[in-house]
Chains A and B, each alone.
Chain A
Amino acid sequence: MSTVEKPNPLKQVNDAVDSRWSELLSRVHMERTTRRMLALVVIAFALFAVLAPNVFLSAINLQNIALASPEIGILAVAMMLAMLTGGIDLSLVSIANLSAITMSTIYTAVAATDPAQAEAMMPVIVLAGVLVGLAGGAINGVLVSVVGITPILATLGTMQIYNGVAVAWTGGSTLYGAPSALTAMGMSTLAGVPLLFLAFVLVAVGVGALLNRTPLGLKVQLQGANPTAARYSGIRGRSVLMSTYLLTGLLGGIAGVLFLARNPTASADYGASYVLLVIVIAVLGGTNPNGGYATVLGVVLATLTLQIVSSGFTAVRLSSYEYAMAQGVILIAVMVLDQVRWRRRRRRPAATVAA
């Protein structure tokens, strides 16, 4: 396209970009909450890019955001799944830690006699970690679906159990040691993007596909939206819940692998503040805590928002305590805005609805 002969080239390019953009937007149909999250990500990013461009926009800082997001993000996606069925999974972080501890212990035990073999066993070790996660999820699943305990209580109990086992196992100390292949994976990048972040994207896409493209995903959503209706439409609540908690356990195990890949240490009290943070992220991402509604994209964007705010606060030299405040303010503000808008819409039907 030659823009030289046209009267106002800049305007023309502008128009072209505009129409492309709106076309793209209309093609990518997004839920309202997801759009809001996207706006928040952009606003947060722009804000800190303006406030502290030198620090915040540096390649290292951006890579750090991409490195810190995956483990929290995967846990948040798992939390979202549990919330989607109207439940909650408080034991996620304990599961992840237990998985990391298992892997570290196996590696150290094998490496004591034969370091080369320990390295070679990397896939087996990772598999063991993921299996621990699955087992943790299976126990949750049995308690929730077969025994019939309310998810918040069942996972509150198992959280204490898994964490207690981890504390007893490690004696409260931090374990060192991870297969160097795993650590290398944690440090390597692909075209500037950390591999761990790609793993996060992969998991998110996988869960998204599961929710939107498979019968199980549909069942999970229906189960959360209306358990009674789901039962009468022939959905077996028990097996849906079982699958959900197996899945959250699996994701917890994967998060444990990421813990170890990012940092070759494992301890029982790693990420203690994650339990509540992950709930914050899931709700911020548009997940209805009562079940029935959630989007993976929203949760991914919420993870990014909080990471951007966190590293942005560091970049403009605010403390982590101020970050904790910001986190709370963002959560409550978003919830309040949601509620106000929802109520206004209900009061004034149709006529003056602002999309």
Chain B
Amino acid sequence: MSAPQSSATSWARRLRGANNEGVLALILLLVVVGMSIANPVFLTLPTAFSIARDAIVPLILALGVLLIIILGGIDVSFAAIAVFAGYATVRLMEGGTLDLGLVAAFAVAIVIGGCLGAINGWVIARFRLPTLIVTLGTQGIFKGALLTYVGGKYIANLPESLAGVGTANVLEVSLENGQANLHVMVIPAVVLAVVLAWVLRRTMFGRSIYAIGGDIEAARRAGIRVVRVQVWVFVIVGAMAATAGMIYMILGRSASPHELVGTELDIIAAVVLGGASIFGGRGSVLGTVLGVLLVQVINNSLILAGVPSAWQRAAVGALLVVGVGIQAIAARRASQVRRVQEVAPEPKEVAAV
């Protein structure tokens, strides 16, 4: 094996990323460049900031889904948890009798979300039930409980401490034709993404999630406490969903128990687009971030390009089908190559997970 060639291919491989993040970034770049050429309005700061604002809630939810998918499951209850925690917290503070302040409000929501997540995790880990089925059930339970016991009315005015944040910007840039504002809630989303990337890559807990998703039995024999990790992942995902729920209410400057639920499959689609394997054990924060951004950019750019917004869903769906289709064909070709190599074995470096 000649050195320059191998280093070139290894560079190409690194650029492509373990989960095709490079390819995704390239597509994102192409879409952005293409849109900017088609409509110069696209390549402006206000557009970028509004895309960032639109991406906050889907991103946090998607990062939660990413954890579950790496663990080898599927979650459809996170939207119900998000709305439950967000609405219940606002409801608690409503009327000004109990103004908790921003931090405490988030804390309350996160505790609620964590508890709901713990219910998911306990049932799934204790009885070893399929995650899809259990979360389908808990989705109905959470949403039903919210509307029955917490309330069902639309709250138009958030409590003072939350309403104030709704219009706060972290970055305000004055342009000749107006102003570009970056919403302050971008910060928690970015922090969460960075922390999660670190946890998944560098901590025992993160590696355990990959191990369980890759092969649950192997993980158990390697000494990983499978049940404990599973329950904790669901608690964390519940807490993350709750954060997203709170931010959603703050951004919308109102609270309604009928929001978010119904968007589960869209979020899952973004995560899958980001290269996470539905079979577990594969996926990255970077890929998910790119996936969510791509969906948001497409949604935003179609409007600018004059395509009716009605086609957004179809476009995202088509992208998903093409994306996973290419992956499926590549995987099949790889398995055929492997079969050929088994006949004439040849040392092959192990792909880094």
Contact (Cβ within 8 A) A328 B138: yes
The prevalent SS among residues of B at the interface is helix
Residues of B272-329 whose CB lies within 8 A of A: 272, 278-279, 308, 310-318, 320-321, 324-325, 328-329
Interface residues of A in 247-297 (CB under 8 A from B): 272-273, 275-276, 279-280, 283, 289-290
CB-CB < 8 A to A325: which residues of B?
Answer: 140-141, 144-145, 148
Binds B, one of A70-78, A106-114, A145-153, A214-222: A145-153
Of B137, B139, B265, B324, chain A has the most CB atoms within 10 Å of the CB of: B137
B311 and A147: CB pair below 8 A? no
B311 touches A164 (CB 8 A): yes
Is there an interface contact between B328 and A149, defined as CB atoms closer than 8 Å? yes
Selected contact of B137 from candidates A150, A272, A280, A321, CB within 8 Å: A280
Q: Are A172 and B137 closer than 8 Å at their CB atoms?
A: no
Contacts of B328 in A (CB 8 A): 147-150
* B278 touches which of A153, A167, A319, A339 (Cβ 8 Å): A153
A161, B144: Cβ atoms under 8 Å? no
Q: Which of A154, A272, A289, A332 contacts B138 (CB 8 A)?
A: A332
Q: Name the CB-closest residue of B to A269.
A: B262
Q: Does A329 reach chain B (CB closer than 8 Å)?
A: yes
Q: Given the interface contacts A148-B332, A321-B147, does A165 sit within 8 Å of B314 by beta carbon?
A: yes
- Tell me which of B8-16, B17-25, B122-130, B201-209 binds A: B122-130
* Contact residue among B140, B152, B332 (Cβ-Cβ distance under 8 Å from A328): B140
A331 in contact with B317 (CB, 8 Å): no
Chain B residue numbers with a CB within 8 Å of A160 are 265-266, 269, 313-314, 316-317, 320
Q: Are B136 and A279 in contact (CB under 8 A)?
A: yes
Q: A157–B317 contact, CB under 8 A? A: yes
CB <8 Å contact, A171 and B325:
no
Query: In the complex, which of the residues A273, A290, A339 contacts B128, with contact meaning CB atoms closer than 8 Å?
Result: A339
User: Which residue of B is nearest A325, CB measured?
Assistant: B144
Return 10 A-B CB contacts under 8 Å, by A number: A147-B328, A148-B328, A150-B328, A157-B318, A162-B317, A163-B314, A283-B136, A327-B144, A332-B138, A335-B133
A-to-B contact residues, CB < 8 Å: 90, 143, 147-150, 152-154, 156-165, 167-168, 171-172, 272-273, 275-276, 279-280, 283, 289-290, 319, 321-329, 331-332, 335-336, 339-340
- Which 3 pairs show the lowest CB-CB distances between chains A and B? A164-B314, A160-B317, A325-B144
